[in-house]
Amino acid sequence: MAKEINTIGVLTSGGDAPGMNAAIRAVVREGLSKGKKVKGIRRGYAGLLNEEIIDMDAKSVSDTISRGGTILQTARCMEFVTPEGQQKGAEICKKHGIDAIVVIGGDGSFQGAQKLAGLGINTVGVPGTIDLDIACTDYTIGFDTACNTAMEAIDKVRDTSTSHERCSIIEVMGRGAGYIALWCGLANGAEEILLPEKYDYDEQRLIEQIKAAHDCGKQHYIIINAEGVGHSQSMAKRIEEATGIETRATILGHMQRGGSPTVMDRVYATTMGAMAVDLLCEGKSNRVVAHRNGEFVDYDINEALAMKKCIPEYMYQLSKSLV
């Protein structure tokens, strides 16, 4: 029989992402509207282990929907990866009357939620990461804002690159995944994208292409390099030496994680946060909310973590053919 829950905890974990506040707001207000108590757990699993637990009311999330970052703060916590840390976390939940938790984060955070579920705390994960690297979902909170931020920055680099007739390597985030690079590659009309999932490390081919483009009169050569490939500075030096074309590297870095969320991030985060509460109120646990094939759905966390995700081949081929 489904366990009835009274108090829902909410935490953000791993890297922050624009839209996390919209998700927290939805969890709090949907929880309250269903007659539940809601508690905020600050600093992810680290805050849980330190009992940084606060009561949330409707007002505590006022004026947050448009703000980047996470009002609950976030952290990475090695202690929680250990069985002792997880046991301690579950006991702290019970001590504070928290019988269910919404975990907003990535795959790593979902593994924590899976462990808590096994220890009797009902959990639902909400995909929050700019990297889009969660296999069960076509959308993750923050990806849209991060891509828009990177796209605007790359447009600016392109202006100066054209003026100076340079080659520019712009490194975008994504940890081991190339989705931000792929989307920016298409959105910015880059000459080349380097993705960890696809790049063959044939730098000689790249050098020949840059020279050929230059000989055809191209005034710039924009390479969007994913963080997972990395080494943008040394690559720029080698390209300049080999081609004689001035080459600069720009690493966009953490600016991609900040800023006010786009309409897409606000609406999807709101829907997913509320859905997580609805699932908990139905007595469900060890689930993750996802957006798949145009619909909001949920999966068992174990099933979700076992799924694999690939770079969409057609989009990747377009990045090659439309140059």
Catalytic center residues: 131
Q: Which does 127 bind (CB under 5 to 8 A by kind): ligand ADP, ligand F6P, none?
A: none
Distance between first and last Cα of the chain: 58
| Contacting residue, 227, 236, 277, 319, with ligand F6P by CB under 6 A | 227
**Which residue reads 């600050």 in tokens?**
42
- Scan residues 21-50 and list those touching ligand ADP (CB under 6 A): 45
DSSP code of residue 259: S
Pick the piece of the chain touching ligand ADP (CB under 6 A) from 18-26, 47-55, 104-112, 297-305: 104-112
199 contact, one of ligand F6P, ligand ADP, none, CB 5-8 Å limit per kind: none
17-76 positions binding ligand F6P, by CB under 6 A: none
Q: Which does 108 bind (CB under 5 to 8 A by kind): ligand F6P, ligand ADP, none?
A: ligand ADP
**Contact between 52 and 22 (Cβ < 8 Å):** no
How far is the C-alpha of 160 from the C-alpha of 137, rounded, in Å? 37
Nearest to 38 by CA among 97, 118, 94: 97
Assess contact for 111 and 44: CB atoms under 8 A: no
Check residue 141 and report its DSSP letter.
B
Chain positions 174 to 213 lying near ligand F6P, rule: CB under 6 A, are 174-175
Residue 112, interface with ligand ADP (CB under 6 A)? yes
| Residue 174 touches which member of ligand ADP, ligand F6P, none, C-beta under 5-8 Å by kind | ligand F6P
Q: CA angle, 150 as apex, 145 and 153 as ends, to 5°?
A: 130
Q: Is 172 in the site for ligand F6P (CB under 6 A)?
A: no
- Number of residues forming the site for ligand F6P (CB under 6 A): 9
Q: Work out what residue 107 binds among ligand F6P, ligand ADP, none; the CB cut-off runs from 5 to 8 Å by kind.
A: ligand ADP
Residues 65-94 that bind ligand ADP (CB under 6 A): 76-77, 80-81
Angle (CA) 86 129 75, round 5°: 45
| Nearest of 271, 275, 286 to residue 3 by alpha carbon | 286
Cβ-closest residue to ligand ADP? 108
Kindly report the CA angle at 136 between 131 and 141, in degrees rounded to 5?
A: 40
- In sign, the C-alpha dihedral spanning 89, 93, 96, 101 is positive
Residue 108 within binding range of ligand ADP, rule CB under 6 A:
yes
Q: Does 301 bind ligand F6P (CB under 6 A)?
A: no
Task: Please give the residue ranges that form the binding site for ligand F6P (CB under 6 A).
Answer: 15, 129-131, 173-175, 227, 257
